[in-house]
Amino acid sequence: MVSTGIGTDNIDIVLNELDALANIDFTTRTIKPELTQLRIMRIGTCGSLQADIPVDAFVASTHGLGIDNLLNFYRREPQEEDTQLLQAFTTQTQLHHNITYPYISRGSASLSKYFVNDFHHGITVSCPGFYGPQGRILRMGLAQPNLLSKLTEFRLGNHRICNFEMETSAIYGLGKLLGHQCLSLNAVVANRVNHTFSTKVHQTIEKLITIVLEKAGEW
């Protein structure tokens, strides 16, 4: 296990260096001829963006949608389904006019199948900050005062945004580019729609860690 720190900028460092440890020969400083595929799972906290996903629930992210700009610095070729989701998101939210052009990547279906019971499944949005980028106000006004409602109301077929945090989009995006299997598993510590907050954060996170370790033992 490794602690990444908060934010997609830290994920950029951790994912690149984990891959380097597995797939670069440090003696010759060349890429190894046979690449190793890693299984990477994020265990972290999040805020729910749907009224029916309560605090202390768990979310397995089907997609990571980034409004942080990191993946726009890498060359990539999104799949058609991802492009359709992104087009629907920008059309419905119009966030790309004032913030950045978002990106989206899918999580590992082969890992997700282990986390079905007791898990909600949906899109996770990764934000570039904790306050303004997540609709919180202290002393500064917000450029996007309706951000939360835009995210909550997004729909495309069966797809909806379940939650937001600050790492998943980078893990999924970089993991896909590097050929790794990635899954983000999130403990809900606040419901931003119902304005409710967990009173047993540590117990909820420990329960999620235990579930993940037990499932990992089945591989």
What's the total number of domains in the chain? 1
CATH code of the domain in which 100 resides:
3.40.50.1580
Residue-level pLDDT at 20: 98
**Alpha-carbon gap, residue 36 to 23, rounded angstroms:** 6
**Alpha-carbon gap, residue 201 to 96, rounded angstroms:** 34
* 118 in a structural domain: yes
* 211 in a structural domain: yes
Give per-residue pLDDT as tens, 3-52.
899 999 999 999 999 999 999 999 999 999 999 999 999 999 999 999 99
Mean pLDDT, rounded, for 202-208:
97
Nearest alpha carbon to residue 187 among 63, 67, 66, 53: 53
Taking only Cα atoms into account, the Rg of the chain, rounded to an integer number of angstroms, comes to 17
pLDDT for residue 94 is more than 90: no
Residue-level pLDDT at 187: 98
pLDDT for residue 120 is more than 80: yes
Sign of CA dihedral 59, 134, 92, 149: positive
* 19 in a structural domain: no
Residue-level pLDDT at 124: 98
Grade residue 114 by pLDDT with cuts at 50, 70 and 90.
very high
* 2 in a structural domain: no
Mean pLDDT, rounded, for 68-79:
91
* 22 in a structural domain: no
Supply the mean pLDDT for the chain.
95
Residue-level pLDDT at 79: 86
pLDDT for residue 207 is more than 90: yes
Residue-level pLDDT at 99: 74
- b/e map 70-98, b = 16+ CB within 10 Å: bbeeeeeebeeebeebbeebeeebebeee
Grade residue 96 by pLDDT with cuts at 50, 70 and 90.
confident
Which structural domain, as residue segments, surrounds residue 151? Answer: 38-135+142-216
**Alpha-carbon gap, residue 72 to 76, rounded angstroms:** 9
